[in-house]
Amino acid sequence: MVAAFQPKTAEAGRVGPGGPSPTPAPAEPKVVAQEWFDAVAAGDVDDAMKVSAVPFLWDGKKMVSERDKLRALYDDVLQRRGSRRLIPERVEVMPADAPHTERYCGKDHAGDGPVVKFWIQKQHVGVCIVRGKVVGFSDS
């Protein structure tokens, strides 16, 4: 039996015998949106920030262009609301070219990525995903 090649750690930026490090593919939009939704529902600012990118459209109304300002918004809202147990009744993915994505993504990202909608008691939260990161949401 031949032993499988075990690549060294990220030494010299290479994986495997002489090959370049692969660029990881962005996570599936539904997975990223679920991570964000779970973090926000749990009141976990650090986890929400891990999957967020700027510019970020906050609740369909305010464009945030700096990460520290985005963190401050998360801190403020999540401290006031605290942890909540939210279980969506259904989750749907709207393609980037679907109507009304600007409402969730803003002008900067409209058409750049899909919107994942979480339906809770006949209302929804739409989360815009671009290149594996959340760049906006709206629950209105």
Residues 6+ apart with CB under 8 A from 22: 15
pLDDT at 5 over 60: no
Domain count, the chain: 1
Pairing state between β 52-58 and 133-138: parallel
Model pLDDT, residue 20: 52
Mean pLDDT of 77-99: 87
Coil/strand/helix, residue 80? helix
| 14 domain-assigned | no
* Alpha helical stretches, state H, 15-140: 29-42, 45-50, 67-81, 102-109
CB neighbour class for 69 (10 Å; exposed up to 12, middle 13-18, buried from 19): middle
6, part of any domain = no
Q: Which domain covers residue 126, as residue numbers? A: 27-138
**Residue 15 in domain:** no
106 domain-assigned: yes
What is the Cα–Cα distance from 118 to 54, expressed in whole angstroms? 22
Confirm whether 20 is domain-assigned: no
Residue 21 forms part of a structural domain: no
The secondary structure of residue 12, as a DSSP letter, is G
pLDDT digits (tens, 9 = 90+) for 23-75: 566 679 999 999 999 999 999 999 999 999 999 999 999 999 999 999 999 99
Q: Are 60 and 104 a contacting pair, CB within 8 Å?
A: yes
- Asked if residue 12 is part of any domain, the answer here is no
**Residue 122, domain member (yes or no):** yes
Is the pLDDT at 4 greater than 50? The verdict is no
Give the pLDDT of residue 21: 52
CATH number at residue 46: 3.10.450.50
